[in-house]
Amino acid sequence: MFNLQTLFSNPLSFLVGLIALAVSIGVHEFSHVLSAYLQGDRTGQALGRLTLNPIKHLDPWGTVAIIFAGIGWGKPAPFNPYNLKNPKWGSALVAIAGPISNVIVVAITGYTLLLVGPHLAAGNLLLVFLQTMVILNAALAVFNLIPIVPLDGSYLLRAFLGPNNALVVTLERYGFIIVLALVLLGGSILSLYISGGVNLIFRILGLGRLL
């Protein structure tokens, strides 16, 4: 998709991969802001984040991390939980909107790939774009559902167990360290989790032929 090896061996494919990455992150973060907006919070809109323009949502260091390490981040979607209509579930709805949007993108690009893919030659840039979008968005959805701060799944866990639950408090206190350790030291475990989740999404959507 997009890594330094691709940059030197196939610069056009590398560029297409970066475009797919920017679009995917943009859709994910926009969906967070849109969910907050629909629930009554205007924080993201006021900061210019209620847009599909990916430039508004990219974090420079997070993008570099994805290229070099395979895992990175976008700019966190700003919202004020106290402005949301539902105090308990509002933040969880904002959080889940990101992964849901990625699954929707998987469905759209996946079915498009099944339709036009057989008519495109290997290495065709449209084919590369669609393939990258399908895999990348599925991986983004699965990774962000891990229930550890600062990932989206942590808001779901908080909503279900409550903010004072011992597990929630611990994960919020040490979440960043746990995620960092998981990425740096638990690569094989993380890889198995993501690949399993991606396979599950594909099969649920009827895209098993793309595996």
pLDDT of 163 reads 92
Active site residues: 29
Residue 125 backbone zone (phi > 0: left; psi -120 to 50: alpha; other: beta): alpha
pLDDT of 8 reads 61
Cβ-contact 106, 20 below 8 angstroms: no
Alpha carbons 99 and 119: distance in angstroms, whole number: 30
Domain count, the chain: 1
**194 Cα distance to chain centroid:** 12
Cβ-contact 148, 179 below 8 angstroms: yes
pLDDT of 181 reads 86
Q: Mean pLDDT of successive 10-residue segments in the chain (211 residues)?
A: 62 88 95 98 97 94 76 87 93 98 98 95 93 95 94 95 94 90 80 94 94 76
Question: Which residue range(s) make up the domain with 74?
Answer: 4-210
Alpha carbons 17 and 2: distance in angstroms, whole number: 5
Alpha carbons 25 and 117: distance in angstroms, whole number: 24
pTM: 0.92
Beta bridge partners of 109: none
**What are the structure tokens assigned to 90, written together?**
């509002």
